[in-house]
C-alpha cells in the first residue's frame, strides 16, 4: 500500500512550492482516486501503474489540468488539453462581472471573442439560459474543444471560427448586449517571467502578442464592437495588469463611456469595462 499525498507533495514542491504542490496532490487524489480523506488515503496496489504515470507527467511540469484532462471553472468541469488555455480564477471573476452587467436583461445577446475552451461563453449560457451566446476563435482546434464542452455541459452556444484582426464573422449594428474577451496579452519579452509549466505547455497562440503592438487585440475588438453593441451595451476585457491604463485609454479614445479598471481578488488590475455610447448607433444609422 502506498501513501500518495506526501509522496506527491514531496515530488512537486521543488517546482511549485509546498502550498501549490499540496493543492495539486489534493486535486489528483480527489478527482482521479476519489479520496475522501487526503492525508490518510492509501492507494491500492493495483492503481500503482496509473499513479506512477501521473506522477511522472506532473514532475515533468505538465499542468495538472492537462494531465487529468479537465479543469474546474465556476462550479463546472471543462475538458481541457494543450489545444486551449487552462481556465483560471481571474477569468471566473471576469464571468462574474459579465453576469452582473447582464442581470437586468431577460434575453441578452452575448459574444465571446477568443473563446478557447469555451469556459466564458458556456458559463454565461448556463447561468443565463435565456441568453443568445455566440463565441469565436481563430483556432479550429480550440473550437473543437469548446464545442465538446458545450455538448457535455448541455449549453447551446453558437461557435464560429474567425480572426478579430481580420474578421469574416458579422453582427448587425446594435445587435449585442455584451462583448467579452480574454485575448492574448503577453509580449514575448515577458516570457522569461512566466513559469515553465505555462509557457512550455499552454498554446502560444493564446498567450502571446506582437512585441511592437501588445494592445492590438484590445484596439481591434474595441473598434469592431463599438458599432455592434446596443446603446448602453458593455465591452468587457481581461487584461495584462501592467497595461491596464493603456487598454482603458483605448476605450476612452473610441468613445466608450463609464470606462473603469477593476481589480481581481488579489487587488491587481485585471479587467476593463466600457459602455457603448448612443453616438455609435447614431453614427451607424447615418452610414
Q: What is the pLDDT of residue 96?
A: 97
pLDDT band of 2, cuts 50, 70, 90: low
Candidate from 1-10, 60-69, 79-88, 260-269 with smallest mean pLDDT: 1-10
- Look at residues 201, 228, 242, 207 and name the one whose alpha carbon lies nearest to residue 284: 228
Contact in structure between 278 and 231 (CB atoms under 8 Å): yes
List beta partners, residue 111. Answer: 134, 179
**How many whole angstroms separate alpha carbon 196 and alpha carbon 193?**
9
Q: What is the pLDDT of residue 278?
A: 62
**How many whole angstroms separate alpha carbon 214 and alpha carbon 220?**
12
Residue 45 has pLDDT above 90, yes or no: no
Q: What is the pLDDT of residue 164?
A: 87
Contact in structure between 94 and 115 (CB atoms under 8 Å): no
**How many whole angstroms separate alpha carbon 9 and alpha carbon 30?**
14
Q: Give the 3-state secondary structure of residue 75.
A: coil
Supply 117's cell numbers. Answer: 475552451
- Look at residues 50, 13, 5 and name the one whose alpha carbon lies nearest to residue 29: 5
Residue 138 has pLDDT above 80, yes or no: yes
List beta partners, residue 237. Answer: 181, 272
Residue 280 has pLDDT above 70, yes or no: no
Helix (H) or strand (E) holding 161: strand 157-161
Question: Other C-beta atoms within 10 Å of 15: how many?
Answer: 16
Beta strand pairing call for 229-238 and 269-275: antiparallel
Q: What is the pLDDT of residue 151?
A: 98
Beta strand pairing call for 109-113 and 186-187: unpaired
Q: What is the pLDDT of residue 172?
A: 85
Q: What is the pLDDT of residue 39?
A: 77
**How many whole angstroms separate alpha carbon 89 and alpha carbon 73?**
8
Supply 127's cell numbers. Answer: 447561468
Q: What is the pLDDT of residue 166?
A: 82
Q: What is the pLDDT of residue 209?
A: 94
- Look at residues 60, 61, 68 and name the one whose alpha carbon lies nearest to residue 26: 68
The torsion angles phi and psi of 143, rounded to 5 degrees, stand at -65, -30
DSSP per residue, 85-129? PPP-HHHHHHHHHHHHHTTT-SS-EEEEES-TTSHHHHHHHHH-T
pLDDT digits (tens, 9 = 90+) for 161-203: 999 888 777 888 889 999 999 999 999 999 888 999 999 999 9
Higher pLDDT, 159 or 44: 159
The torsion angles phi and psi of 135, rounded to 5 degrees, stand at -145, 140
Amino acid at each position: 500500500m502506498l501513501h500518495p499525498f506526501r509522496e506527491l507533495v514531496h515530488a512537486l514542491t521543488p517546482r511549485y512550492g509546498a502550498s501549490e504542490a499540496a493543492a495539486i496532490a489534493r486535486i489528483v487524489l480527489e478527482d482521479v482516486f476519489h479520496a475522501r480523506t487526503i492525508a490518510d488515503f492509501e492507494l491500492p496496489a493495483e492503481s500503482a501503474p496509473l499513479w506512477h504515470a501521473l506522477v511522472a507527467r506532473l514532475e515533468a511540469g505538465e499542468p495538472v489540468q492537462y494531465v487529468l484532462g479537465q479543469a474546474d471553472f465556476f462550479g463546472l468541469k471543462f475538458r481541457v488539453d494543450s489545444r486551449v488555455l487552462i481556465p483560471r480564477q481571474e477569468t471566473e471573476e471576469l464571468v462574474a462581472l459579465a453576469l452582473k452587467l447582464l442581470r437586468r436583461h431577460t434575453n441578452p445577446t452575448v459574444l465571446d471573442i477568443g473563446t478557447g475552451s469555451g469556459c466564458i461563453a458556456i458559463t454565461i449560457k448556463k447561468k443565463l439560459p435565456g441568453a443568445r451566446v455566440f463565441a469565436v476563435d481563430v483556432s479550429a482546434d480550440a473550437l473543437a474543444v469548446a464545442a465538446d464542452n458545450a455538448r457535455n455541459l448541455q449549453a447551446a452556444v453558437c461557435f464560429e471560427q474567425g480572426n478579430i484582426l481580420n474578421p469574416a464573422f458579422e453582427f448587425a449594428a446594435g445587435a449585442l448586449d455584451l462583448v467579452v474577451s480574454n485575448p492574448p496579452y503577453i509580449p514575448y519579452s515577458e516570457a522569461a517571467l512566466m513559469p515553465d509549466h505555462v509557457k512550455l505547455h499552454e498554446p502560444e497562440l493564446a498567450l502571446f502578442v506582437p512585441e511592437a503592438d501588445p494592445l492590438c487585440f484590445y484596439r481591434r475588438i474595441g473598434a469592431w464592437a463599438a458599432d455592434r453593441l446596443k446603446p448602453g451595451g458593455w465591452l468587457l476585457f481581461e487584461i495584462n495588469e501592467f497595461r491596464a491604463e493603456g487598454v482603458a485609454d483605448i476605450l476612452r479614445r473610441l468613445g466608450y463611456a463609464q470606462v473603469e479598471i477593476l481589480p481581481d481578488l488579489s487587488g491587481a488590475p485585471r479587467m476593463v469595462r466600457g459602455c457603448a455610447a448612443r453616438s455609435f448607433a447614431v453614427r451607424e444609422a447615418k452610414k
